[in-house]
Amino acid sequence: MNSTKKKYKKGAVLGAGSFGTALSAVLASNGVEVTLWAREPEIIDGIQSNRRNPVYIPTLELPSSVVAQAELSKALEGAEFILIAVPSHAMREISSDIAPMLRGDEVVVHVAKGLEEGTFLRMTQVLEETLKGVIPNDHLVVLSGPSHAEDVAEGLPTTVVVSCLSNEVATRVQHTFTNERFRLYVNPDVVGVEIAGAVKNIMAIAGGVSAGLGLGDNAMAALMTRGLHEITRMGMAMGGQQDTFAGLAGMGDLIVTCSSEHSRNRRVGWRMAHGERLEEIIESMNMVAEGVKTTRAVHQWAQENGLEMPITAVVYGMLFEELDPRAAMDSLMTREPKNEINM
């Protein structure tokens, strides 16, 4: 067998939320030995006693080859690859914690979709800093695309992308995860894949507001299309490739996040459109809506770099400046008329 087509045999999944749990099941079904690390004792107990995560996707029965572990160092023992499935704001902490525990030959895959507040760093850039001198940059991988955990857990067809500086590493990750229900494509554009995954969450909040206000299908189509334009402009300004934003990491993820009832970010917008305050919404959710923090980071970056991002600006206003949702949507329609395509 070609070396790039060999599957990894043992992995550690750090984070037993919905996606970490669902991907553990995917890997186990592919014959991978998985250790799933979680902080919560009730999750460890639930998986050990009845093969279910009682907090996230409790309907999913995990294969026996998924072992729950509360101790981080033990979870990492013997792992050929490490899948970090925590929110973007926790990436620096968890990767700093594991750095002294690693051998140095592991591959580190992440599935977070956000930018670090204050630094505007993408997640692989955070990993480059925290794992410097331990894990080479061409062993850092991002897995992204339209992949709500609920569908993955049910075994519904899902297609995503894997991106890495090393095509050999990316291809090996591809073959480790891919099966008849979970398909990966390799995309070498790490920058574009990460920016697309982060910024689409902002557009999903706007989509939720539009749906919550009952603005109709035309408005949703416009938001998604112009949202993709904003994502592409920012991504290309940061070094991403245009084609990436028309693919699974860009358009694909944008469509599912703006239209699905499973979307946490869309849910935030929907609830704001119905008069709920952001603090109340966040407090009531047991899962993180990445778009809230990402909006603050992207809005600040756009202002500092002189990039016009009107949808991001109104979402920022709704989240942090008490801008009325209907007034926000109206403001997008009353902007100065422009060309759709730069001429």
Quick: pLDDT tens for 44-75: 999 999 999 999 999 999 999 999 999 999 99
**What is the residue-averaged pLDDT of the chain?**
94
What's the pLDDT score for residue 77?
96
Q: Taking residues 120-129, what's their average pLDDT?
A: 97
Domains 3-188 and 198-333 are alike in CATH topology: no
pLDDT, tens only, 277-300: 998 898 887 666 788 999 999 999
Strand arrangement, sheet containing 33-37: 66-69, 33-37, 10-14, 81-84, 107-110, 140-144, 158-164, 182-186
User: CA 152 to CA 321: how far, in whole Å?
Assistant: 36
* 121 phi, psi to nearest 5 deg: -75, 140
Which amino acid is residue 330, in one-letter code?
Answer: D
In this predicted structure, what is the pLDDT of residue 12?
Answer: 98
**Could you read off the pLDDT of 311-322 as tens digits, one per residue?**
999 999 999 999
Superfamily of domain 198-333: N-(1-d-carboxylethyl)-l-norvaline Dehydrogenase; domain 2 (1.10.1040.10)
Percentage of the chain beyond pLDDT 90 is 91
Average pLDDT rounded to a whole number, residues 307-312: 96
CATH superfamily for domain 3-188:
NAD(P)-binding Rossmann-like Domain (3.40.50.720)
Model confidence at 6, in pLDDT bands (50, 70, 90)? confident
pLDDT exceeds 90 at position 9: yes
Question: How confident is the model over 254-279, as pLDDT tens digits?
Answer: 999 999 888 889 999 999 999 999 98
SS (H, E, C) the chain: CCHHHCCCCEEEEECCCHHHHHHHHHHHHCCCEEEEECCCHHHHHHHHHHCCCCCCCCCCCCCCCEEEECCHHHHHCCCCEEEECCCHHHHHHHHHHHHHHCCCCCEEEECCCCCCCCCCCCHHHHHHHHCCCCCCHHHEEEEECCCCHHHHHCCCCEEEEEEECCHHHHHHHHHHHCCCCEEEEECCCHHHHHHHHHHHHHHHHHHHHHHHCCCHHHHHHHHHHHHHHHHHHHHHHCCCCHHHHCCHHHHHHHHHHHHCCCCHHHHHHHHHHCCCCHHHHHHHCCCCCHHHHHHHHHHHHHHHHCCCCHHHHHHHHHHHCCCCHHHHHHHHHCCCCCCCCCC
Taking the domains of the chain in order of start, what are their residue ranges?
A: 3-188, 198-333
Residue 175 in contact with residue 183, Cβ under 8 Å? no
Region 124-141: what's the mean pLDDT? 98
- Please tell me the predicted confidence (pLDDT) of residue 286: 65
Q: Which amino acids are annotated catalytic?
A: 200
pLDDT at 2 over 50: no
Positive or negative, the Cα torsion across 10, 13, 16, 22?
Answer: negative
Per-residue pLDDT of 67-122, as tens digits, reads 999 999 999 999 999 999 999 999 999 999 999 999 999 999 999 999 998 899 99
pLDDT tens digits, residue range 220-244? 999 999 999 999 999 999 999 999 9
